[in-house]
Amino acid sequence: MTIHATQMRPGRNVGALSLLLSLISLAACSSGTAQRPEAASLIRADAGFECRPPEATDPDFVRNLIGGEVSVADIDGFLDARMADMDIPGISLAIINDSEVVFHRAKGMANIETGEAVDGCTIFEGASITKPLFGYFVMGFVEDGKLDLDRPLYEYLPYRDIAYDDRYKAITARMVLTHQTGFPNWRTDFPDKKLFIKFDPGEKYGYSGEAYQYLALVLQEIEGVDGPGLEALFQARVARPLGMTHTQIIPSEAMQAAKATPYKDGAPTAKWVYTDQFGAAYGVNSEARDFSKWLIAVIERRGLSEATFEEYLSAQDVHLPRDFDASNSPFGPLSIALGFQIYEIPGIGKIYMHDGNNSGFSSLIIIHPEQKWGLVMFANADHSTQIMQELALFLNTPRE
């Protein structure tokens, strides 16, 4: 069966290289397939969303990555000042120490016009931080023997959108997860809106949300489900086992009603209109404490076998463009895992990270598995990546 993609999510990837360089400096100082009948019971099986505000977490200090501590008062002061300076309406933030959320904040406004405040139930779009989460989901299918990372995807599902270029028949799941397919980020960024291949698959790195969407369609074909059916499988295989009650990729109406208003250039912008497309590249809706449950599972290597985790978190053989390649610097190279970006930072060690930007939303995740440390932050403004990077630097700045 061939397939044809329908709705795609415009978006952009904001690179993390500037954050890496600053951290180093501080460290030196210190459309879906037809549904088969047996899949019917999966559809919307976990679509409900009920707001249950988390208990407050308010220690005196949180541990950073350079052997020190940062006071909660200082973190709150930093957030209040920078949110005001940068006109960021609202944020959801969690910090992980020793595989536990030790600090959680829901600050600011979910809707400036109505005066609705952000709280522990306010939902944000995670945008591209969906990609490493989807990679984790994919690895479950690999572990089950249903998907081979190195088998051409067209053998599972021919792709009509790119059938005119036989080069696509070389594309594998590994190439998708490491951005080596040759697909553009989004076809909608180009005048003719037509999917194309920029370079031979496997040749080099080229960031692509389109590729992730193709892989989602392959999973749907393997399982005999449509987009909502894949969402139900995500809930059954990932979200529910980890206790993630506030995280969905195709959000229910109730979850959409709990979402913060997105702001672009200081003004409210239209909310995304969801269809039955499973947004593997962009679609996660969540809040910081709930999303932390997955980050902790990765830190603790839960939900997949040890061998599968080794594959998932290992640096892959990816030819990076010159502007990504720091291997000739004293700072250590950027590497690509099966969803995450990896940075090896002197004085800090190996961190896994990804950021995200959708229209009116921004996000950032960082984990340091060896130190069992993590950070996740969401905001309902499209220019918020800067404050997130600044917070990571603030937390890891040496103090007197």
Lowest mean pLDDT segment, chosen from 10-24, 220-234, 315-329: 10-24
What would the two tokens of residue 284 be? 């996660």
Residue 166: partners with Cβ closer than 8 Å, 6 or more residues away: none
* Mean pLDDT in residue range 83-88: 97
Lowest mean pLDDT segment, chosen from 7-21, 121-135, 146-160, 348-362: 7-21
Strand-pair partners of 23: none
Percent of the chain with pLDDT over 70: 82
Positive or negative, the CA dihedral 163, 167, 171, 176 is negative
Confidence of residue 54 (pLDDT cuts 50, 70, 90): low
Task: Check residue 386 and give its pLDDT.
Answer: 92
Lowest mean pLDDT segment, chosen from 53-67, 274-288, 305-319: 53-67
The tokens 């139930």 sit on which residue? 121
Nearest Cα neighbor of 32 from 161, 214, 182, 210 is 214
Task: Check residue 18 and give its pLDDT.
Answer: 56
Task: Check residue 31 and give its pLDDT.
Answer: 35
Positive or negative, the CA dihedral 274, 283, 394, 14 is negative
* Torsion, CA 361, CA 335, CA 326, CA 364, rounded to 10: 20
Provide the CA 86 distance to its chain's centre, in angstroms: 23
Topology adopted by domain 17-38+51-133+227-233+243-395:
Beta-lactamase (3.40.710)
Task: Check residue 49 and give its pLDDT.
Answer: 62
> pLDDT tens digits for 173-226?
999 999 999 999 999 999 999 999 999 999 999 999 999 999 999 999 999 999
What would the two tokens of residue 142 be? 């690999």
Task: Check residue 323 and give its pLDDT.
Answer: 60
In terms of pTM, does the model score above 0.75? yes
Task: Check residue 66 and give its pLDDT.
Answer: 95
Identify residue 264 by its one-letter amino acid code: K
Nearest Cα neighbor of 70 from 61, 78, 79 is 61
> pLDDT tens digits for 14-47?
455 456 545 544 444 443 333 332 333 333 334 4
> pLDDT tens digits for 116-128?
999 999 999 999 9
Strand-pair partners of 364: 355, 377
Is residue 387 within 8 Å of residue 88, measured between CB atoms?
yes
Long-range contacts of residues 333-337, Cβ cutoff 8 Å, at least 24 apart:
334/17, 334/20, 336/178, 336/179, 336/205, 337/132, 337/135, 337/178, 337/312, 337/313
Concatenated DSSP letters of 155-187: GT--BGGGTT-GGGGG-BHHHHHTT-S---S-G
Nearest Cα neighbor of 228 from 4, 33, 359 is 33
Task: Check residue 44 and give its pLDDT.
Answer: 38
Task: Check residue 5 and give its pLDDT.
Answer: 44
Q: Give whole-number Cα distances, 369 to 120, 345, 366, in Å.
A: 26, 14, 10
Is residue 151 within 8 Å of residue 141, measured between CB atoms?
no
pLDDT at 352 over 80: yes
* Mean pLDDT in residue range 145-165: 99
CA–CA separation, 258 and 186 (whole Å): 28
